Chains A and B, each alone.
Chain A
Amino acid sequence: MNYVFHFGDMWNAREEFLSGALMTLRLSALAMVASLVIAVLGALARTSGPKPLRLLVAAYVEIIRNTPFLVQIFMIFFGLPTVGVRLDADEGALIALILNGSAYTIEIVRAGIENIGHGQVEGALALGLHRLQAFRLVVLPQALRIIVPPLGSQFILLMLNSSVCSAISADELTSAALDIQGRTFRAFEAFIVAAAIYFALSLLFSSVFATLERAAFGKRNAR
């Protein structure tokens, strides 16, 4: 191997990497928050809505989870403009990430809700708590214990998945690396640096989430 590594160009492009990383974080955070909101509504509809709605949500989840994210992005980014919805790459990427992420988050929230037996609520009501108290004091604390840990992993998966958005040149870290390698012809270095940033971010978030979990739920819940 007589390849000479050349990271000088990468150091010169540090601001591009940094802004790419920030865009990745922004995109992931926005998508995560939006898909959480959709997931709560979706999971409620899936567990206690009328039958047609339950089936609709179930179909949505299955369709999204059994087709590739890249195809979903193409469908949204190239498809929506043909029906008169104008959107740029960043908007297309965000919509695709939200639609994709919600399907997985719905399943996480649903598992949390379904895990709490009917007896729990009945017991709480029998003890004289009213409905809101039963939800707040009995259902919610238990559900959160089940829901929150996988949500952390889901965020990291979503962040790593967002690199696929570079296929439509959305403004994020992988696109930044592609731009830099196109300009400097240092493909390996550019992708190594980008991969290292993603890796650092996923390590950072997994330790932050683990700490928050311990603080919120105590050691018993620690993975």
Chain B
Amino acid sequence: MSITLEDPRVIEFDVRTDEMLVNMGPQHPSTHGVLRLLLRTDGEVIYEVTPHIGYLHRCAEKIGENLSTPQWIPYTDRMDYLAGMNMNLGLALAVEKLVGMEVPEKAMTLRVIIAELNRIASHLVGMGAYGLDLGSFSPFLYAFREREIILDLFEEACGARLTYSYITIGGLTHDVPNSITIPSGLAALTRRSPNLKLSWLEALEMFLSWLEPRILEYHTLLTENAIFIKRTAAIGVLSREKAISYGCTGPVLRGSGVDHDLRRDGEKIYTRMYAGYDFEIPVAPFKKAPPEAILGDNWCRFYVRMMEVVQSIKLIRQGIQKYAKAEGTYRVPYKMTTKLPVAEAYLETECPRGQMGFYIVGNGEDKPLRARAKSSCFCNLSVTSELCQGCLIADIPAIVGSLDIVMGEIDR
């Protein structure tokens, strides 16, 4: 029996769907700052995502042209404000490359310790906030409890908790203190007396041995969580070729299977800091990945960050050992009014979110002719429209969160 149009069992659907424009942000909590995404959707399905950036734009590069390079360091703190130390390090190394400056071994060892400690703090926020985006509240609280101790330690070392300006041209502004009172958070967690006096490095060591076993707990809470895997695995897949062409760096690049880390593959002025250290570079695909996960998806990008925390702990431990034997001082002086040569230098360093580049053009004066900051998040964000095509609205926070962006660095 054939069914005809007149057949009463045939229901004609005459529901026309229009495209809809949805504004996400610039004050949406899951966009990690002031990012506005303009979504063109058909029902729940995304056709196009247009990121609108610039809400935090301060034209830091213009400011940099009107200051001498040491004076610009506090402005780099405010770029990626979750990893200020790594930003300071990037600029300091670029200027050292330009003027051909040698840094003592002790300063290099301290720089490794400080930069890796900030990488842990930054990845902790990345992990906690990502859980929050996907509706899991508790990892955020644990991540901030741990980060608090790192900030306490930074405060003891340089006096600031967020905008450090600690790593400077020629070394660091201070040596780490020999005697501090144990940070109250660390005392409470490790059940020590709050009046305990110890050296900064001992407190750091104590924190690391407390943090290391906690990473397993984060894996139980997030990485192996069935809901988390459902929200991240096989979503937002970024191919290796696209990742390279879009200029993605850091965990986003390694999550797509490119084995590249500037701490190993970078320029000599940067890699010599890490010479003699034993560490691995986590690159997707992973043996421990759930069967649903595929190369270059949200889960892989997240897992790269988690594995990097383990490697950073390993690096800091070796740094503490080296510090005891390191020669030289923590800084060679660099005058505020030092004239830059008529030359130019570009240097990229491996920051928690990717490769941050500083390009300084000198012109025989103390102020550079051009001070350029190439942002890693800027490039990482540019893949959003590519990744979000065809996914659901609910996947947008999962994809943007997995890129782990900081708007201060994108807008500069």
The yes or no verdict on A and B being binding partners is: no
